[in-house]
Chain A
Amino acid sequence: MSTLHLAILLPFIFVVIIPLLYKYTRAIHTGWIALVVPVTLFVYFMQYFSINKAIDPITVTVPWIPSIGLGLTLYLDSLSLLFALLITGIGTLVVLYSIFYLSKDRERLNHFYAYLMLFMGAMLGSVLSDNLLLLYSFWELTSVSSFLLIAYWYQRKRSRYGAQKSLYITMTGGFSMLLGFIILYAASGTFSIREIIAMGDAVTTHALFIPAMFFILLGAFTKSAQFPFHIWLPDAMEAPTPISAYLHSATMVKAGVYLVARLTPIFGAFLEWSWTIIIVGIVTLAMGSFNALKQYDLKALLAYSTISQLGLIMSLLGVGSLSMNSNYAPYSEYFIAAFVAAIFHLINHSVFKGSLFMMVGILDHETGTRDIRKLGGIMHLMPISFTFTMIGAFSMAGLPPFGGFISKEMFFTGVLSLAEHSNAWITIIPIIAWIASIFTFIYCMIIIFKSFTGTYHEDLLDKKPHEPPFGMLISPAVLSILAIALFFFPGLVDTSIIEPTVKEMAPVAPLFIENPDWHVHISAWHGFNLELVMTIGIILLGTWLYLTYEKWKTPVFDLIPRHLNLFTLYDKAIEGMEKTATRITKSYMTGSTTHYLSYIFSFLIIAALATLIGTGSFVLDTSQDSPIEWYELMLGIATVIAAVFVLFSTSRLMSIMGIGVIGFTISLFFVIFRAPDLALTQLVVETISTALFLLCFYFLPKMKASVESIRFKLTNAIIAIGVGLTLTLLGLSAYGYRVFEPIAEYFSNSYELAGAKNIVNAILVDFRAFDTMLEIVVLFSAGIGIYTYIKLRYAGRND
């Protein structure tokens, strides 16, 4: 047990402590108790952080289930540290913000903070796990805790819907990922990511390696809301705003990014991996930024913007992984730059998106609405909020002097170098990226100007807007300062985090082999180049489009019919699955015993006949048969006549008599086949059962007692003939296969062994008395059953 293990354990301990303390500390806001966790953890992880040098990776392990290779193995390197700092750092700010956002008196804070701590622990566990199974366990725990947090206001229908949808989609991805992990285990024999990376080609040559890659990518894409699995994210906006800020912008949705980055050393050298990620990322980027324009709800807008930014990061990771591919070896350095951009933008995005969500929360809190059609003209009422919103949005739009500007420039460098060093048609990717950036610019402007400038609609707002309490502004203030600091001092993160991370992600990149002293250097000023021109183009075109937004929005948005989207498809698919399942179930679970019996018998016929004929076991061996005597033949004919009579008789009484005849003939068979005990018993039992049949017949309800012929059904006849035929064939074959001597010889010694001259009785009460004992128990149970049915009837039946 190391301190790293304790660090992960801490949030889980608080999951238990918080509800316990909640009862006794009603006077103070529970958030203050919860705040201990992220602050402690942030300080703890900061001790590993140094501006000048990279962290020495730490591996600690505690056995858990060694028999399946599952150990609590934690690994802390720069990539993990980066995520751990994001999780705990933004976690601190979110908890602080939520203290002022959530009311102490109206909300169930014990639930809220317990779920939040659960999530924080799970997320930390995910990014620190070295064991794939452990990673998967924590991964699913983030899905579950996210589900709980989205449905925090479970009284609302939309919250429950959103929670369910996110669970369905992320769980589907999670299972797929597990499948990929298991294949990796099959290929490598270990669940340790370190060891799999170290194995290199031994793993990559496995036949199922490429499928494993796609299974794992599916997990990453669903979690990170990539196209077409992004549809859960806008619906997850029903969660309380601190949750949206934390889970659905800064941490959980980046779990997929983490997974891709973490597994890049294994899969990165494969073109399938790179191009899948690039294409999905670019499509997500374009789709997300375009859809964000359509939104009126600020949180929905931010959700789409998150989707789009995650697509951007993903596509950069894809471009970066090309640096490991041998075909692109000469351009390794250009592609490595994409990795740098991805990690840098990851940091930037967490900063500005967290801040923007908090600002939207403040707007919601202070005005009572998040609808941009109702907001407007409140700049002079809330100047501080306006400033912070502007910083966040400008950083997102990629404008100087904010961190987003640098990452956007680096993004353009990445896609341009991709286009330059690849096929000609790849040129479309920078163009799509550029157009998406224009959309991004427009919706950033919408966030700022539609909500803060313009006309002030006093009548539309529930309350008079004013600045929020000071405590609520602390967190966005810290994030806004960071957004600016990342522009002026990118050196804070370049050599300390980004450089070792990139080297970690592309260990076999030709660049690092040729040039071991390579260093990342991020600066705000790149000089005059194409990227800068593109940015200026974005600003000019974006401003013009924003100003003419009202004119073009309706015709452009109507190009795609409203009902034709993935949301409707999802709803229709869920509905369709339910309906189909119901229909299928109803089609065979008819409630009719006749139908069920016909399934059982049909299966019997098919299975038995297929086995009998398929294995060629049918034999007809008559050499052992005894000669047939005339009285046996007579009795046989009598039985058949009675049976046919039962089958075709038109009255119940006749059928009962027919069955009686069969029973008595059988007892005669027992007589002629020398089984006196059986004959005696058969006689008496047949008499009793006939009497009972008559009893049932007598008490049948008078009203429905119409004497009718048995309904003849062709299928029933076929099934009945089939069963008869099957069993006859089986019986004949079994008779032909008498390969062992019967054990009957042994029982002929019954007088010596059991002192009995009656062998049957000796078997029943001595050799195999256990069967008899249980049979009388059966008889007794049947008697008691009949007694209770008749005597202990439910008294209130007539009600």
Chain B
Amino acid sequence: MKFTDVYLQTATKILVFIIMTFSIYVLFAGHNNPGGGFIGGLITASALVLLYIAFDLQTVQEVFPVDYKKLAATGVLVSVLTGVGSLVLGVPFLSQTFKYVELPFLGNTELTTAMIFDLGVYMCVVGTTMTIITSISEDDI
């Protein structure tokens, strides 16, 4: 018999979206306000953990089929490649640059390569945290 917690699951369905939105906000706001890739990644991970607590591992894995190890590795790769990119352009490793661009819908927006780097950090943090948590919870002693 499977135990279902209706209150928790209903609340989770709403809360996960709020937490996710907040984490994305923190990630992108990091450049000018408190936040950034690290804390954004941790908040995303907490949303995922909430999903795992409300539902079970298999269900979440089916809905959200991500290999967290690969996510973490991709994050590290993205961060390193932003550094390599600056090498290609003939400037020292990991030189960042920024530019203000007029974008549709968003208006005058600052685009910076540091953002890509932070995205790498974000992916690595989400990936690693979830790798650790799922590994431990899947382990049976």
Residues of chain A having any CB pair with chain B under 8 Å: 676-677, 680-681, 684-685, 688, 692, 695, 699, 754-758, 760-762, 764-766, 769-770, 772-773, 776-777, 779-780, 782-784, 786-787, 790-791
| Docked-complex contact A769 and B94, CB < 8 angstroms | yes
**Which residue from A684, A764, A779, A783 sits with its C-beta under 8 Å from B36?**
A764
CA distance A757 to B131 in the complex (A): 33
Contact with A786, one of B112, B117, B131 (Cβ below 8 angstroms):
B131
Q: Closest residue to B46 on the A side, CB-wise? A: A684
Q: How far is it, in angstroms, between the C-alpha of A776 and the C-alpha of B80 when the chains are bound?
A: 10
Are B39 and A681 in contact, with the CB atoms below 8 A?
A: yes
B50-69 at interface with A (beta carbon < 8 Å): 69
Q: Give A776 to B79 CA distance when docked, in angstroms.
A: 9
Asked whether A695 lies within 8 Å of B136 as measured between CB atoms, the reply is yes
Whether the Cβ atoms of B129 and A688 lie closer than 8 Å is yes
CB distance from B109 to the nearest CB of A (A): 11
Task: Evaluate contact between A783 and B110: CB separation under 8 angstroms.
Answer: no
Encoded as 1 (CB less than 8 Å from any A CB) or 0, chain B from 24 to 54 comes to: 0010001111111111001100100000000
When the two chains form their complex, are residues A680 and B35 in contact, meaning their CB atoms are under 8 A apart? yes
Chain A residues near B80: list those with CB within 8 A. Answer: 773
Given known A681-B42, A780-B124, contact A769–B135 (CB-CB < 8 A) = no
Given the known A-B contacts A761-B31, A769-B94, A791-B135, are A779 and B42 also in contact in the complex, defined by CB atoms under 8 Å?
Answer: no
Residues of A within 8 A of B114 (CB): 754-756, 762, 765-766, 769
Q: Is the CB of A677 within 8 A of B36?
A: yes
A110-B96 Cα distance, complex, nearest whole Å: 69
Q: 7 extra interchain contacts, Cβ-Cβ under 8 A, other than A756-B114, A758-B36?
A: A758-B30, A765-B96, A780-B128, A783-B132, A784-B69, A784-B131, A790-B135
Q: How far is the CA of A761 from the CA of B29 in the complex (A)?
A: 10
User: 6 shortest A-B CB distances, which residue pairs?
Assistant: A755-B98, A783-B128, A676-B34, A757-B32, A765-B114, A684-B42
Interface pair A790/B139, CB less than 8 Å apart: yes
| Sampled A-B contacts (11; CB under 8 Å) | A677-B35, A677-B36, A680-B39, A754-B112, A758-B33, A761-B31, A769-B96, A770-B93, A780-B76, A783-B127, A791-B139
CA distance A525 to B55 in the complex (A): 117
Closest to B38 in A: A681
Q: In the assembled complex, which residues on chain B have CB atoms less than 8 Å from the CB atom of A692? A: 136
- B residues less than 8 Å from A677 (CB atoms): 34-36, 39
CB-CB contacts below 8 Å: B84-141 with A: 93-94, 96, 98, 110, 112, 114, 117-118, 120-121, 124-125, 127-129, 131-132, 135-136, 138-139, 141
A residues less than 8 Å from B34 (CB atoms): 676-677, 680, 758, 760
In the complex, the answer to whether B39 meets A684 with C-beta atoms within 8 Å is yes
The CB with the most chain B CB atoms within 10 A, among A688, A769, A784, is that of A769
The complex places the Cα of A677 from the Cα of B40 at a distance, in Å, of 11
B117 touches A769 (CB 8 A): yes
Instruction: Check A756 against B127 for contact (C-beta < 8 Å).
Output: no
**Contact between chains at B120 and A776 (CB < 8 Å):** yes
How far apart sit A782 and B76, CA to CA, in the bound complex (Å)? 13
Contacts of B37 in A (CB 8 A): 765
| Cβ-based interface call for B18 (8 A) | no
- Closest residue to A676 on the B side, CB-wise? B34
Q: Which residues of A contact B110 (CB under 8 A)?
A: 755
| A780-B76, A780-B128 as given contacts; A757 in contact with B94, CB under 8 Å | no
CA–CA, A677 and B131, complex, Å: 24
Query: Which residues on the B side are within 8 Å of A761 (C-beta)?
Result: 30-31, 35-36, 118
Nearest CB on B from A695, distance (A):
6
CB < 8 Å: which of A756, A773, A784 contacts B79?
A773
Q: How far is the CB of B133 from chain A (nearest CB, A)?
A: 8
Contacts of A757 in B (CB 8 A): 31-33
Cα of A387 to Cα of B141 in the assembled complex, Å: 88
* Residues of chain B contacted by A779 (CB below 8 angstroms): 72, 124-125, 128
A765→B116 CA distance, assembly (Å): 9
A676 to B35, CA, bound (A): 8
CB < 8 Å neighbour of A765 from B26, B118, B128, B132: B118
Q: Which residues of A contact B32 (CB under 8 A)?
A: 756-758
Interchain CA distance A332-B83 in the complex, whole Å: 84
B8: interface (CB < 8 Å):
no
- Closest Cβ of chain A to B120, distance in Å, is 7
| A683 CB to nearest B CB, Å | 9
Q: Are B98 and A754 in contact (CB under 8 A)?
A: yes
Q: B44 → chain A, closest Cβ, in Å?
A: 11
Q: Which residue of B lies closest to A684 (CB)?
A: B42
With both beta carbons as reference points, the residue of chain B lying nearest to A699 in the complex is identified as B141
Q: Name the residue of chain A whose CB is nearest to the CB of B39.
A: A680
Contact, CB under 8 Å: A790 / B128? no
A776-B121 in contact (CB<8A): yes
Q: With the chains together, A164 CA to B15 CA distance in Å?
A: 78
A754 with B79: in contact, given A685-B42, A790-B139 (CB under 8 Å)?
Answer: no
Find B135's partner among A680, A758, A787 (CB 8 Å cutoff). A787
Q: B35 — which chain A residues lie within 8 A by C-beta? A: 677, 680, 758, 761
Contact B121 A783 (CB under 8 A): no
Interface centre among A681, A764, A765, by most chain B C-beta atoms within 10 angstroms, is A765
Q: Shortest beta-carbon distance, B108 to chain A, in Å?
A: 12
Q: How far is the CA of A485 from the CA of B32 in the complex (A)?
A: 106
Please tell me which one of the listed residues A765, A776, A790 contacts residue B125 in the complex, with CB atoms under 8 A apart. A776
Complex CA gap A755/B101 in Å reads 13
Contact call B31/A756, Cβ cutoff below 8 A = yes
- Chain A residues in 8 Å Cβ range of B98: 754-756
Least Cβ–Cβ distance between B123 and chain A, in angstroms: 9
List residues of chain B with CB within 8 A of the CB of A790. Answer: 135-136, 138-139
- Contact partner, A776, options B30, B33, B76, B141, Cβ 8 Å: B76
Tell me the nearest residue of chain A to B78, going by C-beta.
Answer: A776
Contact, CB under 8 Å: A754 / B96: yes
Q: Which residues of B contact A787 (CB under 8 A)?
A: 69, 131-132, 135
Closest to B137 in A: A695
A404 to chain B, nearest CB (A): 82
Cβ A765 vs Cβ B136 within 8 A: no
Shortest Cβ distance from B38 into chain A, in angstroms?
Answer: 6
Q: Is the CB of B136 within 8 A of A786?
A: yes
**Closest CB of chain A to B87's CB: distance in Å?**
13
Cα of A765 to Cα of B35 in the assembled complex, Å: 12
Q: Are A782 and B128 in contact (CB under 8 A)?
A: yes
* B-side contacts of A699, CB under 8 Å: 141
| Docked complex Cα distance between A681 and B129 (Å) | 14
B110, B127, B131 — most chain A CB neighbours (10 Å): B131
Inter-chain CA distance A673–B110, complex, in Å, is 29
Residue numbers in B under 8 Å from A755 (CB-CB):
31, 98, 110, 112, 114
CA distance A779 to B123 in the complex (A): 12
* A631 vs chain B, min Cβ distance (A): 20
**Chain A residues in 8 Å Cβ range of B127:** 780, 783
Residues of A within 8 A of B43 (CB): 684
Distance of B105 from chain A, by nearest CB (Å):
21
The residue among A685, A760, A780, A783 with the most chain B CB atoms within 10 A of its own CB is A783
Closest to A793 in B: B139
